[in-house]
Amino acid sequence: MQAVQQEIAQALKVQPPFADAAALGQEVARRVAFIKDCLANARLKTLVLGISGGVDSLTAALLAQRAINELRAETGDQAYAFIAVRLPYQVQHDEHDAQACLEVIKPDETHTIDIAPAVRALAAKVQELKNGSPTLVDFVVGNVKARTRMVAQYTIAGARAGLVIGTDHAAEAVMGFFTKFGDGACDLAPLSGLVKNQVRAIARSFGAPEALVEKVPTADLEDLEPGKPDEASHGVTYQQIDDFLQGLPVDPAAAEIIIANYRKTQHKRELPFAP
């Protein structure tokens, strides 16, 4: 079991636990520098990120806005900008959390795009969905929502010559808990290699309120189960996932679930198959 844990942790480049506040600060600085380097290498000045109301997008946005602030201060170029995008499907049930995140982030710009008309228009044109079971249709349309959100972000980024930020981290990556070519598609993923508790710790270090830091994570893609917690989908807790990734003892049944999900979703973490 330990060998498998190490193999997976190495593949996902899992970061060791923060030894102290100084180590956390160094990691924040490293990831902010990474974001700045991505912009410099692309010769672009704009970052785009969808804000869901969860701690992952909150943390990625805090890192992004700090990177932009530093670039403006260092270069004197006011053209650098971070664009936060709200992408609700009609009215989001936890919109108040999304708005609270925006108050913490203080983005340079905030755009809102209701994805419902686009999602419904596409679903209405797919004949296969008309005869599907309610559960199947709900699942498929949930993935359409995630992909439509990414299309919207890339549309803004294209219009503003910017890069799209992803929010995937090691605890989601190991479970394959993202939509392929949806929230899994991005230009840079500054949370990569972090476990969930580290994402929370970084948000907390920026002064984010505990209600947002410790908010129950949910993908909130399915209409039949709105706000369904991630852990209910996983069958394991994020603490168990974090412990597994960081080489700590984990209940054997939980470890089996994590390993099975990792292997089953390997295709999501790779480029398309090619001959």
Burial class (CB in 10 A: 0-12, 13-18, 19+), 4: middle
User: 107, 10, 8: which is closest to 64 by C-alpha?
Assistant: 107
Residue 242 to residue 173: CA distance in whole angstroms? 12
Residue 218 to residue 208: CA distance in whole angstroms? 18
pTM of the model: 0.95
Measured torsion, CA atoms of residues 249, 212, 199, 113, in degrees rounded to the nearest 10 = 130
User: 242, 191, 214: which is closest to 32 by C-alpha?
Assistant: 191
Cα of 122 vs its chain's centroid, Å: 24
User: What's residue 206's pLDDT?
Assistant: 98
Backbone angles phi, psi at 80, to 5 degrees: -65, 135
Active-site residue list: 56, 172
**Helix H or strand E segment including 219:** none
Backbone angles phi, psi at 82, to 5 degrees: -115, 125
The one-digit pLDDT tens for each residue of the chain (275 residues) are: 889 999 999 999 999 999 999 999 999 999 999 999 999 999 999 999 999 999 999 999 999 999 999 999 999 999 999 999 999 999 988 999 999 999 999 999 999 999 999 999 999 999 999 989 999 999 999 999 999 999 999 999 999 999 999 999 999 999 999 999 999 999 999 999 999 999 999 999 999 999 999 999 998 898 898 889 999 999 999 999 999 999 999 999 999 999 999 999 999 999 888 89
DSSP, residue by residue, 35-57: HHHHHHHHT--EEEEE--SSHHH
Residue 227 tokens read as: 């706000």
| Residue 221 DSSP code | -
Work out the widest C-alpha separation in the chain, in whole angstroms: 58
Q: Is-contact 193 30, C-beta < 8 A?
A: no
User: 77, 62, 153: which is closest to 113 by C-alpha?
Assistant: 153
Pairing of strands 162-164, 109-112: unpaired
Set out the domains of the chain in order of their start, with CATH numbers: 16-228 (3.40.50.620)
